[in-house]
Amino acid sequence: MAGRPEILFPLFAGIETLPGIGPKVAEALTGLAVERPRDLLFTLPHTGIDRRRRDTIRGATLPGVVTVEVTIGAHLPPRSRGRPYRVNVDDGQVEFQLVFFHGRGDYLQKILPTGQRRIVSGRVELFDGIGQMAHPDHILPVEQEGELPLYEPVYPLTAGVTQKTMARAAAGALDRAPELEEWIDPALKEREGWPDWHDALAAVHAPQSAADISPSAPARQRLAYDELLAHQLTLALARLSLRRGKGRPSKGTGALQDKVLKSLPYSATGAQRRCIDEIAADMAGTQRMNRLLQGDVGAGKTLVAFLALLVAVEAGGQGVMMAPTEILARQHLESLRPLAEAAGVRLELLTGRDKGVERAAKLGALASGEIAVLVGTHAVFQKDVHFADLRLAVIDEQHRFGVAQRMELGAKGEHADVLVMTATPIPRSLSLAQYGDMDISVLDEKPPGRTPVTTALVSSGRMDEVVDHLRRAVEEGRQAYWVCPLVDESEVSDLTAAEDRFRHLRATLGEGVVGLVHGQMPPADKDRAMADFVAARTRVLVATTVIEVGVNVPNASIMVIEQAETFGLAQLHQLRGRVGRGAAASTCLLMYRPPLGESGARRLQVLRDTEDGFRIAEEDLAMRGAGDLIGTAQSGLPRFRIADLERQSALMAIAQSDARRLLADDPTLESARGKAARVLLWLMEQDRAIRLISVG
C-alpha cells in the first residue's frame, strides 16, 4: 500500500515551518489540537469584527468596536501606581480617551505623537459620559489604512497564542495548500453551489461579513461536507469489508418463534414484526448482517432480539447476547428465561464470575452445541470460549462498542451476523455519524398494555404535598422511585443527599417501607435493595441514577425526580421509562428549584409535552450539542473540526448515500474521482479506511 501522497507533504510538515511559530508557540498550539499546517487550515475563525471606518464614534452602538481617524491630544500619565495611562483624542465631533493599563510612557509617546493623526480601532465603552477605548486593537498611521481588513476574522485561541499569530500562521498554511482534484460528485457540487476545495479554504479564512462565518455559507458547507464524506467513506469501507467476509445464510423455519409468540399474553406490534422481518431477511442473505436495532424506552427490543436469536437456532446454529455489565446480563437472562422455556431451548449465562468446574461445564456445553443461546459480558471474548456454530451476536447498549470491537466479535463466529441494540433514541444525523457502517431498524411504537405516563412539574417548595401524595399511594399498594440529584462531582455529597432523603421519607412513611440504593454501596447490598423493591417488600426506592438502565418493576407507577433541572433530557426520559410498565396509571413528578433558567425550563417542558424519545433526542441535540449528548469521551463519535452536527445534520445523510454510491460504482477507488477520494482520506487522516481499500 502506498503511503501519503506527495502532494500533501507540505500540509503534514512540522508546525514550526510556518511564519511566526517558534518552539514556544508550537507547544501552546497543541492546546487547540494544532500540530501541523493542515490542522490550522481546518481551524476556522468563529466570529469576525467589522473594522469599516466611521467618521465619528457619535451614534455608534456602544459598547462596541469602532474604527475612526483621530487627532492625538494630551498624554495623561497615571498620578499613582495602579492607575492607567490615558491619551486624549478627537475624531472631529467627539473627544474620547485611549486607555492603557501598565502602559509605558516612552513607547506610547512614540506611537501616539501629540498633534498627529492616526487610525485607531477597538472596543469603545462609555464611563461617566466619556468614551474610552482600552488597549486599541490597531493603531495605524493614516497612509497605512489599507493594511486594516474591513472585516477581521477572529480565531479560537489558547494560552500563549494571539490573534495576530493565528492569522499570520493560517495565511502561511493557506499558501501551502495545493490544488487538489475534486472528490465531490459534480452534480451535487453544482446543485449546492459549492466552491472548489482551494477556493473554499481561501474564503473561510478571509470572511467579508458575518454571513461568511455562518455554518450555511457555501464555503463552510463544502469543507464540512469533505469531513463528513471522509468519515462516511471510512464507515462504508468498514461495512464493505465486513460484508466481503462472506456471511452464512441462516434461514429460520419460524417454528421456535411461533412457540414464543403464542406464549405471550399480547401480540407483537407492527414495528416489532417489521424489525424481525428486516433482521430475518438479512440473516438469510449471503452477506454478513451488520444492523442496529434502535428502540425507544419500552418499545420491546428484548422480544425482537430473542426472535432474531431463534432464527439462528432454527437454522441449526447458536446465538449470543452481550451486555456491558453483569447486572444487565443477569437482567437479560431473567427476561429471556420465560421466552427460552416457551421455545424449549437451553439458555445460559457466562460472566467473569464463572470459575472452575462450573465454567468448564458451560464451555463444554457451548462447544458441543447443547447451549443454544448464551447471555454474557465481555467474558465471551476470552480465548477459551468456543461455539459449536455461532450465527448471531446481539450487542446491547452499544455506546461502549466501536467499529473495531464489532469486527472482533464477528471473528468469534466465522461469519456471525451482528445485531446491535440501543435504548437511546439517537437523532438521525448522530446515528449516521456513529453507526454509518450499519443498516438501521427502528422500533417506534409501544407494545399494548403500557399506560401513558402523566408528567407534571412541581416546585421543590411543595415537597410536603408530594410526600403526602406518596403516602396515600403507598397505602393503596402502589410503588414509587425517588431519584436524588447528583449534587456535584464528589460522591460523598451525592450520598448524603440520598441518605438524608431516605431518612426523611422513612420518618414520614414508616420503617421498612423505604429502600435505598446508590453508587457507593457494595454490589451485594445493591442487589438486595433492588430485590426487596422488585418483590414489593419495600414500597419506595430512594436512588441516585443507578436505576436508569434496564430495571423492570411493573408495579412501580410513580417516579419522583428531585432537581430535575440538573439532569439531561435523555436521562430524564430514560428514568421516566422505569414507570408505566404495568396496568396502573403512572405519574412522573419533575421537582425543580425555582427560579428555573431558560434551558432548564425548556428541557422540562419538552419532557412534559411528549413521550416520543426520538423527538426528545432531536431537542436534546439542538440544546446541548452532539458531544454532550453521548458523552464524547466514550461515544465513539468522531471529533469534527469543521462540521457542526447540529446545524449541518442534513449533510451527514447526503454524505452517507454519496459514499455508499461511490463505493458501489468503484469499490477499489481507482477511477479519477476515486483517486481524488483517496487523497481526501489521507488529508482527513482516515488511514484505517485506506488499509481497508488495500485489503480489498
Are the CB atoms for 28 and 6 separated by under 8 Å?
no
- At 542, which amino acid appears? V
Q: Where are the domains of the chain?
A: 6-48+157-213, 52-148, 255-443, 453-610
Q: Three-state DSSP class for 227?
A: helix
Confidence at residue 472, expressed as pLDDT on a 0 to 100 scale: 92
Q: What is the pLDDT of residue 402?
A: 54
**At how many degrees (to 10) do helices 326-343 and 255-263 cross?**
100
Residues forming beta bridges with residue 318, ordered by sequence position: 390
CA distance 213 to 119: 26
Q: Indicate the length of the chain as a whole number.
A: 696
The reply to whether 255-443 and 453-610 are identical in fold is yes
pLDDT at position 587, please? 92
Interstrand relation of 556-561 and 586-592 (parallel, antiparallel or unpaired) = parallel
Q: Which residues contact 276 (CB under 8 A, 6 or more apart)?
A: 257, 268, 304, 307, 308
The angle subtended at Cα 180 by Cα 179 and Cα 185, nearest 5°, is 135
d(CA 653, CA 226): 13
Question: What is the C-alpha separation between 417 and 292, in angstroms, rounded?
Answer: 12
Residue ranges in 446-540 assigned as alpha helix (H): 463-475, 491-509, 523-534
Angle (nearest 5°) at CA 372 between 371 and 377: 75
| Choices 3.50.4.10, 3.10.180.10, 3.10.310.30, 3.40.50.300: CATH for 255-443 | 3.40.50.300
- In the CATH scheme, what is the homologous superfamily, with its name and number, of domain 52-148? Nucleic acid-binding proteins (2.40.50.140)
Residue 95 has a pLDDT of: 92
The CATH number of 453-610, from 3.90.550.10, 3.40.50.300, 3.40.50.450, 3.40.50.620, is 3.40.50.300
**Alpha-carbon dihedral 310, 311, 314, 319, rounded to 10 degrees:** -60
CB 318 within 8 A of CB 466: no
Closest CA to 366 of 396, 346, 392, 337: 346
Q: How many CB atoms lie within 10 A of CB 452?
A: 10
Nearest to 12 by CA among 499, 493, 682: 682
CA atoms of 96 and 100, how far apart (whole Å): 13
Q: Which residues partner with 130 through β-bridges?
A: 127
- Which set of grid coordinates corresponds to residue 545? 441514577
**How many helices (H) and strands (E) would you count in the chain?**
25, 21
* Residue 601: C-alpha distances to residues 264, 457, 471, 592 (Å): 41, 10, 28, 9
3-state secondary structure 108-150: HHHHCCCCCEEEEEEEEEEECCEEEEECCCEEEEHHHHHHCCC
DSSP 384: T
CA dihedral angle for residue 462, residue 466, residue 468, residue 472, rounded to 10 degrees: 160
The number of CA neighbours under 13 Å toward the Cβ of 514 is 22
Query: In 10 A of CB 311, how many CB atoms?
Result: 26
Phi (first) and psi of residue 244, to 5 degrees: -65, -35
- Please identify every stretch of the chain with a pLDDT value under 50, giving residue numbers as ranges: 1, 398-399, 488-490, 548-549, 625-636, 695-696
The pTM assigned to this predicted structure is: 0.62
Q: Facing residues of 68 across strands? A: 120
**Would you say 241 and 692 are in contact if contact means Cβ atoms under 8 Å apart?**
yes
